[in-house]
Structure 1
Amino acid sequence: MLFQGYDMARLLVKHSRRANSSNMRIDAGEAMNRRTVSDGRLFDTAPMHSTRPLRSTTVQRGDRSLGWDETWDDVLASLAVRTDARPGRVSRIDRGWSTVWFSPPSGGTAAGSGGDVVRVRNIGADVAVGDWVVVSGDGERVEAVLPRHSAFVRRASFEGQRAESHTIAANIDFVFLLHAIASPPNQRRLERELVLAFDSGARPVVVLSKRDLVEDASEVERRLESLRAVAPDVEFHVVSSFTGEGLDALRRLAAGYRTIALLGASGVGKSTVVNALVGDAVQRTEAVREGDQRGRHTTTATNLVALPADPVGSAGWLIDTPGVRAVSLWSSGHGIERAFSDVFDLMDHCRFRDCKHEEEPGCAVRTAIDEGRLDALRLESMKRLVAEEAALEDEQKARLKAEDRRGFRRRKT
């Protein structure tokens, strides 16, 4: 039987094999400590590239307090750069220009005072906030982009039939997926966010904001459990920016110069959470609406923000992003298998390897649905995402073939 035009049994078998691969069984925490993605390799969504010929020499290291670690040392040592080139971290992107920090500013945002900051052209370089780049000695341009440990990437826009990707944040350790607990739980959106977060190579954490707007503790627990049902292996935190509840736990995750990407829909309180974590009004906020307890869209650009140091002096970093209305898949990593690990665990116990999980005898998935251990909507949601990923792969293959044909015609003329 076809599902949205695809042989779902064949696709599910492929995903089940990936879910059972040895690469999938690496502990996420262990992978994070190694600053590598789940399959143990250096994340390469941004291959090292240069915008102009460079002369081989030794270049100074990046600032550790910005999140630099030894894994970039070897890469930098092998990179041919001019003697006066410097590595820095991108804190903001503005229409072909990058704001790059060489040392932390004192103001907390990309416009902060102090520190060593430069604004450079990034023409020819695929740069995102959080990237480590090599800046020319004259401070005029980005000359090279270092490989990324991780990157949160989603489908951004279309040019006719051509899909484009958008890297929201690079070199991140955690992805905070922000939902307002004062609003009805949106399980389907969280599932999509988790797929992207797992694909990023970072560790997802669900943060439920606006705790102070829900007086009934039992209602808080009900909404929390509703979201936990679709994120069984993910860490949750319930916070209030006004009372301070839960914020210290979030700050501890960033300690040690780690970087957190904060993502969520418009109006869930991202800017308020950022201000509360930083301890200063670094982002503009608006009052919530009475009807649905949602705020207005206020964050208009992605920024790297400094978080306060913990008692031993080890600070962290936060990448605040504009509200994301549509959550569309882009890559085809292990995100679906990780986000739906409970479903794939059940699939392992089906009698038939090519089970469609519909009416087949011995289907462990249907048994779990009948017994109330699995929501049928969760299975359908997973199938939609599997079909969406397959459609994306087909589109990308067609695009590559078209580009190859154009290149072949140019070579013949």
Structure 2
Amino acid sequence: MTEQTTPEGTQQPSVTLRELGWKPFFQHQLAVDEAYIGLRPARVTAVRRSGLQVLGPGVDTALPPFIDAEGGDSANATIGDWLLLDPELPTARHMLERFSLFKRRAPGTGREVQLIAANVDTVFIVTSCSQDFNIARLERYLTLARQAEVTPVIVLTKPDLADDPESYVEQAQALDRALCVELVNATQEAGVQRLLPWCGRGQTVVFVGSSGVGKSTLVKTLTGQQQIVTQAIREDDAKGRHTTSSRELYQLESGAWLVDTPGMRELALSDVKEGLDVVFADLSDLSQHCRFSDCAHEAEPGCAVKEAIERGEIDAARVQRWKKLVAEDAFNGQSLVERRAQSRALGKMIKTAIKGKRR
């Protein structure tokens, strides 16, 4: 790394684009758009309430929140994004197209999208060997990863809390035999070394998982940065009191970039059909053989899914989880107008039924 001078006059290392995760995917965008000539690339390394922190060759500065002129649910710059800056101001002028994006429907009743991280290579899905371990939640995270076309790795932490930690590995591995599952003690550097194969120079990985499962402890051990604040979990229900309130990129000695995110109590899915088709590929393929294209896999004749359950070929509980996620994705993908129309139709049906009962 070379040295760059900050506004305060101090010297600090200056990173190259390659070290920051620059790829031919981004270089091609610069080559095909003349509007980008003379602008300076920089990557968003932190998202805070006050705005963005960006880093690039000769650039390390704070910017106000940036929204791309094209608009849309994903127009806001988020952690991992690449912005093109005017070198004289500097201000953000453009946001480069992403090759991957993690997002979820924001908590609440609206349809707002909450961006988690962009341009990620690997997602570490972190859960602990305790009451937090939940197959349905893991399937949600896997769906997000597959939708974003990012390599997922399940990381099981706190093996000391379980009598048989290997049983958790077996349950996680059963979700996909090709899936990488790692059992690590987040407080021990030797154990965390198991994650380094996905942490090469310029690679970007994101940690996702519930509060208190050890995400920030993993980041602290990998980076040696002890200022990341965490709190202990409650002993009565194993719920976390994690205090991460912002998202930041932390660099490893290996040259990789880690994204630490706040714990997520809600993980509503939206626009993830392709991800569901990958995570539940066997069920999606099986449903193509149902007699009716709109089969709900309940009591319809000729339902290939129900027949497979009866033969003991597939797990009924897994089918119910799949149906729940498919229905949730369809509902969250509806427009507000469609929801209101659906709500009015349901209201009319209920009123008609009540009147008929009174008569």
Alignment-derived partner of residue 209 in structure 2: 264
Q: Deviations over 1:126-160 (max 9, x none)?
A: 200000001121344211100000000100145xx
Distance 1:292-1:392 versus aligned 2 partners, 3 A rule: closer
Check whether the contact 1:176–1:261 (CA below 8 A) recurs between aligned residues: yes
> How far apart are the structure 2 equivalents of 1:174 and 1:396?
34
2:120 equivalent to 1:172: yes
| In structure 1, C-alpha distance between the alignment counterparts of 2:81 and 2:210, rounded to whole Å | 24
Give the whole-Å Cα distance in 2 for the aligned partners of 1:374 and 1:341. Answer: 12
CA 1:72/1:287 → structure 2, altered by over 3 Å: closer, same or farther?
same
Describe the superposition over 1:38-59 as per-residue Cα deviations: whole angstroms up to 9, x where unpaired: xxxxxxxxxxxxxxxxxxxxxx
Q: How far has the Cα of 1:208 moved from its partner?
A: 0.9
Question: Secondary structure at 1:163's aligned position in 2?
Answer: coil
Structure 2 counterpart of 1:265, one-letter code: S
> Is the Cα contact below 8 Å between 2:173 and 2:180 reproduced in 1?
no
1:277 aligns with 2:277: no
Secondary structure of 2:259's partner?
strand
Quickly say closer, same or farther: Cα 1:62–1:135, change in 2 above 3 A. Answer: farther
Instruction: State the distance in 1 between where 2:273 and 2:98 align.
Output: 16
Q: Using CA pairs under 8 Å that are at least 6 residues apart, name the structure with larger relative contact order, 1 or 2.
A: 1
Percent identity for Structure 1 against Structure 2? 37
Deviation by residue 1:80-113 (Cα, 9 ceiling, x = unmatched): 1463x3101001122352100014xxxxxxxxxx
The match for 2:153 among 192, 197, 205 is: 205
Whether contact under 8 Å (1:181, 1:209) holds in the other structure is yes
Instruction: Sort the Cα spacing of 1:185 and 1:368 in 2 relative to 1 into closer, same or farther, 3 A.
Output: farther
State the match for 1:152 in structure 2. 102
Deviation at 1:253, TM superposition (A): 0.6
Of 42, 49, 64, the match for 1:121: 64
Alpha-carbon distance, 1:303 to partner: 0.5
Residues 145, 202 of structure 1: alpha-carbon distance in 2 compared, 3 angstrom cutoff: same
Counterpart for residue 194 of structure 1: 142
Maintained 8 Å contact 1:92/1:304: yes
Deviates more, 1:237-246 or 1:383-392: 237-246
Query: Alpha carbons of 1:62 and 1:277: their partners in 2 closer, same or farther (altered >3 Å)?
Result: closer
SS at match of 2:195: helix
CA distance in 2, matches of 1:171, 1:275: 22
1:300 aligns with 2:249: no
Question: Which residue of 1 is the match for residue 347 of structure 2?
Answer: none
* CA pair 81-397 structure 1, distance change in 2 beyond 3 A: farther
CA contact (8 A) 1:237 1:246 kept: no
Distance (whole Å) between structure 1 residues aligned to residue 334 and residue 190 of structure 2: 46
TM-superposed CA distance for 1:75, in Å, is 0.6
Structure 1 residues 152 and 253, CA gap change in structure 2 (3 angstroms): same
Distance 2:337 2:275 in 1: 20
Q: For 1:350-371, what per-residue CA distance to the aligned partner results, in whole angstroms no more than 9, with x for missing partners?
A: 5776654345666553354345
The residue aligned with 2:277 is: 337
What is the DSSP-based 3-state SS (H/G/I as helix, E as strand, rest coil) of the residue aligned with 2:328?
A: helix
* Residue 330 of structure 1, CA deviation: 2.3
Indicate the RMSD between aligned Cα atoms, in angstroms. 2.8
Change (3 A) 1:362 1:235: farther
Partner of 1:100: 54
SS of residue matched to 1:334: helix
Q: Is the contact between residue 270 and residue 329 of structure 2 (CA under 8 Å) also seen in structure 1? A: yes
Q: Which moved more, 1:362-371 or 1:86-95?
A: 362-371
Q: Does 1:242 align with 2:187?
A: yes
Tell me how far apart the structure 2 counterparts of residues 120 and 237 of structure 1 sit (CA, whole Å): 38
Amino acid at match of 2:328: E
User: Contact 2:291 / 2:301 at 8 angstroms: preserved in 1?
Assistant: yes
Q: Aligned match of 2:305 in 365, 388, 401?
A: 365
For residues 285 and 223 of structure 2, what CA distance do their matches in structure 1 show?
Answer: 40
- Indicate the SS of the match to 1:226: helix
Alignment of 1:318 onto 2:258: yes
Letter in 2 for 1:117: D
User: For structure 1, which runs of at least 5 residues remain unmatched after alignment?
Assistant: 1-60, 104-114, 310-314, 400-413
Counting matched residue pairs gives 318
Deviations 1:228-286 (A, max 9, x none): 33344422111111334642231111214111111111111111111112133141122
Cross-structure match for 1:328: 268
Name the residue aligned to 1:381: 321
- The equivalent of 1:132 in structure 2 is 82
